[in-house]
Amino acid sequence: MANDIHWILDDASLAEHCAAWQALPFVALDTEFMRVDTFYPIAGLLQVSGGDGAYLIDPLRISDWRPFAALLEAPGVVKVLHSCSEDLEVFLRLTGSLPAPLFDTQLAAGYLNLGFSMGYSRLVQALLDIELPKGETRSDWLQRPLSELQVRYAAEDVSHLVEVYRALMARLAPQKVEWILEDGAELVANLGREVVPEDAWRDAKLAWKLSRQQQAVLRALCAWREREARARNQPRNRILREHSLWPLARTQPDNLVALARIEDMHPKTVRQDGETLLQLIREAAALPPEQWPEALPEPLPIEASALLKKLRAVGQREGERLDIVPELMLRKKTLEALLKSGYPNGPYQLPDSLRGWRRELMGQALLDCLAAEGESA
């Protein structure tokens, strides 16, 4: 294995290899990074393989990422990764680009009904009958020099990924390959759409339970937290803890003593940002009603769960027919959005989140299921 490891330690060497990789049908990619107390991941190592050994790129030595960005965007080269959402963040942060077309081997395992959300070690074991060492996953990838174990672990990971891809491709029908690439494109599109800080409040727990005036305060707090996390490069919870957001918006404290009593409020937050938070709350609380956000819809009532189950069964039946794990068929959020469009009496509308092959194969069946339910009610 040691002879098959090639280091890329400068811009010229990276440009040369990226040009060569652009001629390949696919490249396997992996990253090692640190993200203990930062908002953004810090790249410690990038691994590439086209089947002729492992190329290890030291990101601490590279300053010009344009050739690598061009490789990521090359339409003729499939980029193969496993469970890649965090890797995508590393690429975006380093190069400003995202891989396309993207083939995620974890997704592919689901499309072959091997298992849902399969870990890489399990997939390598299942397809290649190789047991991977687990020791280095959590080690320090920013230290230099990297240990011999770290180097071997990183190189083997990407080399095996090539073999995993080949084994999967040998078993996948062309139709399913198309669907995997479609899902990959959606993953990339979602990550490429940066969350607008002013919209961050919509994902806050129990936000729908607040009044519109309280939601205006929550919106201001979440937007500030999001912007500060990015500006300071610190995790969101280091800026202001998740569990403090809702009680802050609901009770709207107006002094530091009341602020310090808020559930899960860190004393350091009160010391460092207490006055800022009080001002944010004051200003947002004083907004006129026309500047409050539109109220969030309430969750579906408990009685809707039986109907949700019937809709899920549409996906399960189709999954059995296609030999795809049921979890990949219809997302819960999509089914909830469909129900919310017309519950309880209809008419219902297919949500935008149901698209591509899923909409084509199951859209009408879902509407038929709801129509049949309406007739029998």
The answer to whether 338 touches 354, Cβ cutoff 8 Å, is yes
Strand 78-81 vs strand 102-104: parallel, antiparallel, or unpaired?
A: parallel
Catalytic residue among 32, 104, 183, 336: 32
Q: How far apart are CA 128 and CA 126, in angstroms?
A: 6
Distance CA 300, CA 297 (A): 9
Query: Of 52, 50, 60, whose CA–CA distance to 26 is shortest?
Result: 50
30 is catalytic: yes
Residue 49 gets which letter from DSSP? Answer: E
The answer to whether residue 153 is catalytic is yes
Rg of the chain over Cα atoms, rounded to whole angstroms, equals 24
- Angle (nearest 5°) at CA 159 between 186 and 112: 45
DSSP 74: -
Residue 40 annotated as catalytic: no
Distance of alpha carbon 335 from alpha carbon 318, whole angstroms: 15
Nearest to 205 by CA among 250, 266, 258: 250
Catalytic-role residue among 157, 183, 228, 336: 157
Helices (H), 144-290: 148-171, 174-192, 212-232, 236-239, 242-251, 256-260, 267-285
Number of H helices, E strands in the chain: 15, 6
Would residue 157 show up in a list of annotated catalytic residues for this protein? yes
Per the CB < 8 A criterion, the answer to whether 72 and 95 are in contact is yes
The secondary structure element, H or E, covering residue 92 is helix 85-95
Instruction: Give the Cα separation of 70 and 14 in Å (integer).
Output: 12
Active-site position among 120, 153, 165, 348: 153
Residues annotated as catalytic (active site), given as ranges: 30, 32, 87, 153, 157
